[in-house]
Amino acid sequence: MAQLLRRFWFDNTAQDVAEYAVMTAVMLTITVLTVRLIGINSNNVFSEISSKLS
């Protein structure tokens, strides 16, 4: 039992998985926010161009 607890305590595999999960979540959040910002700005630009052409 002590050996199982010692192995669990010193095993870093779960820590690596958690770090990758957090890093992936941060990158996904930044990507989604960037795409939304670009979408809103491009919509405004196209609306302005459309109003000037009509």
Residue 36 has what pLDDT?
Answer: 92
CA angle 42, 38, 52 (to 5 degrees): 15
Over 70: is that where the pLDDT of 2 sits? yes
Burial class (CB in 10 A: 0-12, 13-18, 19+), 17: exposed
User: How far, in Å, CA of 15 to CA of 19, rounded?
Assistant: 6
* pLDDT tens track for 5-45: 777 777 776 677 788 899 999 999 999 999 999 988 898 89
pTM above 0.75, yes or no: no
